[in-house]
A and B are shown apart, each in its own frame.
Chain A
Amino acid sequence: MLKFDRFTLDNGLRFLVHRDKTTAMLAMNIVYDVGSRDEDPEKTGFAHLFEHLMFGGSVNIPKYDEPLQKAGGSNNAFTNNDITNYYLTLPSANAETAFWLESDRMTGLAFSEKSLEIQRQVVVEEFRQNYLNQPYGDIWMLLRSLAFKVHPYQWTTIGKMPAHIEQATMDDVKDFYTRFYHPGNAIVSIAGNLKLKEVQKLAEKWFAGIPPGVKHCRKITPEPIQTEHRFLKVEREVPASRLMIAFHMSPKFAADYFTFDLLSDLLGWGNSSRLYQALVIRKKLFSEINAFITGDHDPGLLIISGRLNPGISIDEANEAIWREIDLVRKAAPNKKDLIKIKNKSLANMAYENISLLNRAMNLAFAENLGDAAWVNHLPARYTSVTAEDISEVAREYLTKNNASTLYYCSSNKSVS
C-alpha cells in the first residue's frame, strides 16, 4: 500500500505527497500532459526537442543543472508518445531548491536562439546515434507507421526525420510552451521525508503565483479499426533477421488492459514463457523471442518480437508463432500458468516500489491517467483476471486482421 496525500493549488497545479521517513533523499517528479501524439504531423519530434530546451535556462535561473548539482541533486527527463516527464532527486535538507528550480521553469523560459540552435544539433546527433547509426535502429519507426495509419502513434518520439527537428522555429517553441507548460497541465509528486504541511508551504510559496493556463483539448482522431492484415518486408545489413507482429489493443488501464498484459506475459515474458519454450528451446527457430505491451495511453499495441536463428526461413518462423497464438486462442491457460504470470506481475510491482523515485513517478503517472489511487488497485486488477478472460482477449484481438507483420531481413546471404 502506497500512502499519499493530494492537494491542488488555486492555479490548478496538483500535488501528490508520499512520505517515507526512512530516507535522507527527496524525489520530485513532474509530468506534463504532452507527448509526441500532440505534435503536428509536419513537425514531429517537437515534444522531445522541447524537453531539451527545458534545461536551457528559465526566467531567473540561467542554468538549470548548476544550482541543482550544488544542492547535491541529480535529474533527468524523458518524452514518450503520451507525456513529458521531469524528475530529480536531492538530499532532503535541500528540498527547497527543487521547488525553486521547477517553479521557475514553469513560470517562463529564457528562450534564446543559441539554446535552440544547439539543442537542435544535439537532438539531430541523438537521432543519428540511436536510430540511424545503429543496427535495427529504424525498426520501431517501420513498425509504428505500419500499425497506425491515422493516429499520431505512427511516429516515434524522436520524430519522423531529422529535417523536422532542424526546421523548428522560436515561434513554435513559444507557442508550445504556452499551450502545454502551465500549472493546469502538470502534476507534481514528491516522495521523501517531508511532512504534508511542509510540502504545502513550499508549494504555495513557489508555485502558487504562476498564472493558470488554458487546459488544451486533445483532438486526436482515433485509429480506425484495422480490417485486414498488414505486411512489410525490408532488407538491411544486419547479422540476423528479426520478425515483429503488432496487434492493436485497449487503452491504458481500460477494463481488459490487465488481461492484455497477462496475455503478453504468458506468451513471451522470460525463459519459461510459451514462445521461448516452444520456439527457442524446442523448435530452435529463434535465438530470442518475447511478447509485451507498449502501455500507451490511447489504444496501443501488443507486440511479439523475435530474432531468428541462422538459416531459418522467416516464413516458417512466422507460421510457428501463429501456431502458438492458435493454442492460446483455443484453450484457456491452465491454473499453474495463470498463478505463475500473476505472481510475477505482483512481485515486480513490489520490486519497482523499492525505489523512492519510482514511487513518486508511479503516483504522478496514475494521477495523470485519472487517479493516483490506482497504483494501489493494480494488484487486485491483475489478480481478478481469469484464464477465460485471457483466451477470450486472445480470440478477439490476436487475429490476422488485427496484425501488422514486419519482416526485417538480413541482407547477409550467408546467414539466411
Chain B
Amino acid sequence: MKNFSIPNRSKQPRLKKIQAPELPEPTKGVLNNGLVYYVFKNKLQDVVKIDVLFRAGSVYQNKKLVASTTAKMLKEGTKSMTASKIAERLDHFGAYLETSSNNDRAVLTLFSLKKNVRFLLPLLAATIYEPVFGQQEFHIINTQQKQEFLVNSLKPKHITNRVFNELVFGPDNPYGRTANEADFDALRRDDLIEFHQDFFLNNKPVVIFSGHVDQTIEKQFIELFSSHWLTASDKAFPDPPRDQFATGIHWVDKPGSLQSAFKMGVLTINRFHADYPALLMLNTVLGGYFGSRLMSNIREDKGYTYGINSSLAAYEQACVLSISSEVGREVTSAALAEVQHEINKLRTTPIPEHELSLVRNYLSGNYLRNLEGPLTLADNFRPLIFSALGMNYYKNILNSFQQLTSEELKTTALKYLDPEKMVTVVTGEKLP
C-alpha cells in the first residue's frame, strides 16, 4: 500500500487567477484589387481553414430563399467541373467545402489538410467565379430544401423560432421575413444567377486564413484572387431594424402536443454598444450556462424541462435577447411565470457577490475554452471583420467582466430587461 494522506474533501482546492487568453491580431494583407485578407498562422496541426465571407445574406435578397439557395449551389457545378466531380475531388482529398449563408453573410469555408490545399484552392475560386447553377442541380437542391423545411415545420421549437423572428422584427423587415412552402415553388434558377452577379461577382469578400498557412498557399491565393472584383463596390445594408414589431404573448396552437415550446425576448443593443458586456453578463446569470438561474429554478428545482437557456443573437445590424425552452404541457404557464420572476429579480435585487464572482470566472474560463486550438481565433474574428475592431474587442469585454459591479448590472437590467417590452411565442396546446 502506498502512502497517501486523506485529503480534505470538504473544501474546494484553492483557485488560481485564470490567465487571460492570448489574443494575437491576424496579419493583414491587401491585394491589388483591394481585397482584404487576414492570416492567423498556427503550425501546431497540419490543417488549414479558409473562410471567404461575402455580405450576401438573406437581408440583401428581393425574393425569399434566393440568398440561401445561391450559397448552397455554389459547389453544385462550375464551368469546368460538374457537381459530382467537385464532390469527388473534395472527398478524394478528405476535405470539406461548406457553402452557407445566414441573415447577413454568405460564407464559403474550405477545411483541408495542409498538403492538399494547393489542389483545392482553384476549386474554391471556381465555385465563387463560375458556378453554373444547372437546372437539374437546382431542382435537386430546391426539393431537398423544401423537404427540410416541411420537416422543420413540424418541430415545435422551429415553429416558435420562425414566428418569434416575425414578431420581433416585423414581417416586412429583412430580419423578420420568413419563407413558406410556396416560396420554394416560386424560386427560379435565374434569381440565383442574378443574385450571384450582384452579390458575389460585384461584391468583394473578406478572406480569413487559419492554421498551418505557408507562403506557397498565400502566393497561390494571391494569383487566384487578384484579377477579380476590379470594379466591385461594397453593398450597403438595406434597412436596419429600429423598433420591435410586437409585444405580448402569442400562441401557435398545436392540439395534442405533449410539450410547449416557447421563446420570449426583446430587440436590444448590438454587440458594439458600450452596455453590451454588461448585458452579456446578465444573460449569463439568467440563462447562459448550466448553473444559471433559469436552469437551477426551472430544470433543477422544478423539473419542468430538459433544458432552458437565454442567449444573445447578434446580427450585423441588430441583436435579440431571448429565453427559450420546451416544457411539459401542464406546466407551461407556471414555467412562463417563473421566467418573468427571474427577469424581475435581476431588475430589483443586486446579484450577490459570490454569484457574480462565479460568473466572472466561468466567463473567463469560457473565453479561454473558445480560443483553445489552432483554428479558433478565426472563428472569433469573423463577427468583427466588417467593423474597425480587432481581437482587442475581446480583451475589452474580458476587462469589463472583471470590473462591472452588481449595482451597474442592476441598472443595465432595468434598462434592457423589461418583461413588458418582450414578446413571447408559445407553440403547443393551450389548456383552459
- Residues of chain B within 8 A of A59, CB atoms compared: 9
A30 within 8 A of B: no
With beta carbons under 8 angstroms apart, the residue of A60, A347, A351 that contacts B9 is A60
Whether A239 touches B154, Cβ cut-off 8 Å, given contacts A97-B15, A351-B111, is: yes
Whether the Cβ atoms of A89 and B369 lie closer than 8 Å is yes
Q: Does B277 contact A (CB under 8 A)?
A: no
Query: In the complex, which residues 93-126 of chain A have their Cβ closer than 8 Å to any Cβ of chain B?
Result: 93-94, 96-97, 99-100, 103-104, 107, 117-123, 125-126
B84, A129: Cβ atoms closer than 8 Å: no
For A345, the chain B residues whose CB sits under 8 A away are: 94
Whether B258 and A128, one on each chain, are in contact in the complex, defined by CB atoms closer than 8 angstroms, is yes
The yes or no answer to B4 lying at the interface (CB within 8 A) is yes
Residues of B within 8 A of A277 (CB): 84, 87
- A325 CB → nearest B CB, Å: 20
Interface size of B by CB at 8 A reads 75
Query: Contacts A70-B362, A94-B15, A100-B9 known; A270 to B113 CB distance under 8 Å?
Result: no
**Contact present for B306 and A125 (CB under 8 Å):** yes
Question: Among the listed stretches A71-79, A144-152, A174-182, A385-393, which one makes contact with chain B, having 4 or more residues with CB under 8 Å of it?
Answer: A71-79
| Closest-CB distance, A146 to chain B (whole angstroms) | 22
Distance to closest chain A CB from B125 (angstroms): 20
Q: Which of B88, B90, B144, B291 contacts A66 (CB 8 A)?
A: B291
Q: Write the nearest CB–CB distance from B364 to chain A, whole angstroms.
A: 5
For residue B393, CB closer than 8 A to chain A, the reply is no
Complex partner residue of A133 from B6, B289, B326, B365, CB under 8 angstroms: B326
- Residues 337-357 of B, flagged 1 when their CB comes within 8 A of A and 0 if not, give 000000000000000000001
A65 (CB) vs chain B CBs: closest residue: B291
B1-26: which have CB < 8 Å to A? 1-2, 4-7, 9-10, 12-19, 21
Interface bin, chain A: 35 or more
Shortest beta-carbon distance, B344 to chain A, in Å?
23
Specify which of A125, A135, A205 is in contact with B154 (CB 8 Å cutoff): A135
Contacts of B94 in A (CB 8 A): 343-348
CB distance from A216 to the nearest CB of B (A): 25
- The winner among A59, A74, A128, A276 for most chain B CB atoms within 10 A is A128
Q: A70 and B47: CB pair below 8 A?
A: no
Other contacts beyond A128-B328, A340-B88: 19, CB < 8 A: A10-B2, A72-B368, A91-B16, A93-B17, A93-B19, A94-B15, A100-B13, A117-B303, A121-B303, A121-B304, A125-B303, A134-B155, A206-B7, A209-B4, A209-B6, A271-B84, A271-B91, A287-B140, A348-B94
Give 14 A-B contacts (CB < 8 Å), ordered by A residue.
Answer: A60-B10, A69-B291, A69-B359, A72-B365, A73-B362, A97-B12, A97-B15, A121-B328, A125-B305, A125-B327, A128-B259, A130-B306, A134-B154, A347-B94
- Complex A-B, nearest 10 residue pairs according to Cβ-Cβ distance, in ascending order: A72-B365, A347-B94, A121-B303, A239-B150, A96-B13, A271-B87, A272-B87, A126-B306, A93-B16, A60-B9
